[in-house]
Amino acid sequence: MATTELEKQFAYLEKGCVDVIPREELASKLERSLASGRPLTVKVGFDPSAPDLHLGHTVVIRKMRHFQQLGHRVVFLIGDFTGLIGDPTGKKATRPQLTREEIEENARTYERQIFKLLDPEKTTIDFNSRWLDRLRSADWVRLAAKVTVAQMLERDDFRKRYEAQQPIALHEFLYPLAQGYDSVALECDVEMGGTDQLFNLLVGRHLMREHGLEPQVVMTVPLLEGLDGVEKMSKSLGNYVAVEDAPFEMFGKLMSVSDDLMWKYWLLLTDHTEHDIKGMRADVRAGVRHPMEVKKELASTVVGELHSPGAAEEARREFERVFSARDLPTEIPEVCLPLEGNVMLLSKLLCSAGIASSNSEARRLIQQRGVKVDGRVVDDVKAELQVSAGLRLLLQAGKRRFANVTFS
């Protein structure tokens, strides 16, 4: 199939997206850029207070990278001003104001993480306080005049709350305005975000038009479900894979993703084409390939990209060793405990070794046959161990908690 450069680029950028509004404008912007050699400006906003990125964030970051690969310029916008307002999406609390130092600290943390994926040369990190701080009251009034209450209430979240007679604080309306004004200030060609951001992104379009600018194209990517397979990935739900997770841990977490969800991960977290992914899926369905193998490949790909192919290979071997062969991990935490008498209660030992968080938990683990000492199951809650200086014990609780304990 003969496709033009433009069509190829368009398909590349559109992959995995939910909305591209309007598609024709993206096409014409790309076309113009191709012709003139002038890169597009693509903006994505990030919360200044949560600098721990996870794979859910990387969906849009990867999309930013796609633009970079085609030569465009990306703005990683830290919403230090809008952070004060608190995005009403989902939550309603106003956030505490961060200090200048905290914001800069967070920005550095972001840099460390995003440059695993983005090209620093083509990335601008910016802060929206730079222009939003400068707006005066009159400017805000003028800005607010450009959007009607009815338009605001089109936003799902607002409408539902309004209908349910839940409170909507007035300042919440300022968030979309401020975010939209960012696009005006930066004269964005494209703004991207999760599907939950659609309304805010469209306000940006509206405000740009109101300011006599060519409106930005809006692109949304799906929210990625976390490891539980149900809720969207988030730190507070604990169902996330952090960008900075160690290779083995990251690999393991990815292996616990359900078979069904795996395909979405393939689509949104790798550069494989939809065509390839469909092929793999068909193979799995036909029994040609084992889903676990395909998932290992997924895990390797993701770890390989966020760490290195070598680290991915190592993580895979370690995974197979610990979980498939049921062998011991190559690295087991060493714990040295002071000797107090020559007998020790196993439950206490587990607790001091950091394997159980409380004595009660330790007893529970023992009772449920989850504890091994030197490879043998011990299920007597009252079990005592002979200990002496220099003795070395291997403790294990469940499948993944290990410790080598020595005494001194």
Partner RNA sequence: GCAGGUGUGGCCGAGCGGUCAAUGGCAGCAGACUGUAAAUCUGCCGGCGUAAUGCCUACGGUGGUUCGAAUCCAUCCGCCUGCACCA
Residues in Cβ contact with 240 at an 8 Å cutoff, skipping those fewer than 6 apart: 54, 55, 56, 226, 227, 233, 234
Count the neighbouring beta carbons within 10 Å of the beta carbon of residue 82: 26
Name the minimum Å distance from CB 153 to RNA: 15
- Considering only 4, 124, 148, 166, the residue that binds RNA (CB under 7 A) is 166
Asked whether 86 and 118 are in contact (CB, 8 A), the reply is no
Residue 229 makes contact with RNA by CB under 7 A: yes
Residue 167 makes contact with RNA by CB under 7 A: yes
Segments of 257-346 assigned E as strands: 334-337, 343-345
- Considering only 253, 304, 373, 402, the residue that binds RNA (CB under 7 A) is 253
Residue 96 makes contact with RNA by CB under 7 A: no
* Phi and psi at residue 29, to the nearest 5°: -65, -40
Residue 402 makes contact with RNA by CB under 7 A: no
Residue 165 makes contact with RNA by CB under 7 A: yes
Residue 219 or 366 with smaller CB distance to RNA: 366
Q: Which window, 40-48, 163-171, 214-222, 273-281, contacts RNA (CB under 7 A)?
A: 163-171
Q: Quick one: how far is CA 55 from the chain centroid?
A: 3
| Maximal CA-CA distance, the chain | 82
Residue 148 or 360 with smaller CB distance to RNA: 360
* Phi and psi at residue 127, to the nearest 5°: -130, 130
- Considering only 11, 18, 282, 292, the residue that binds RNA (CB under 7 A) is 292
| Number of residues this chain uses to bind RNA (CB under 7 A) | 45
Residue 374 makes contact with RNA by CB under 7 A: no
Instruction: Classify residue 285 as exposed, middle or buried by CB count within 10 Å of its CB (0-12, 13-18, 19+).
Output: exposed
Find the angle CA(275)-CA(276)-CA(278) to the nearest 5 degrees.
65
Residue 256 makes contact with RNA by CB under 7 A: yes
Segments of 195-265 assigned E as strands: 217-221
- Considering only 6, 130, 401, 404, the residue that binds RNA (CB under 7 A) is 401
Nearest Cα residue to 147 out of 209, 190, 77? 209
Residue 205 makes contact with RNA by CB under 7 A: no
Q: Which of residues 314-343 bind RNA (CB under 7 A)?
A: 319, 323-324
Residue 131 or 263 with smaller CB distance to RNA: 263
Q: Distance from first CA to last CA of the chain, Å, rounded?
A: 72
Residue 38 or 160 with smaller CB distance to RNA: 160
Asked whether 256 and 80 are in contact (CB, 8 A), the reply is no
Residue 73 or 289 with smaller CB distance to RNA: 289
Residue 66 or 253 with smaller CB distance to RNA: 253
- Considering only 51, 215, 252, 304, the residue that binds RNA (CB under 7 A) is 252
**Residues at the interface with RNA (CB under 7 A):** 165-167, 228-229, 238-239, 251-253, 255-260, 291-292, 295, 319, 323-324, 345, 348, 351, 357-361, 363-365, 367-370, 381-382, 384, 397-401
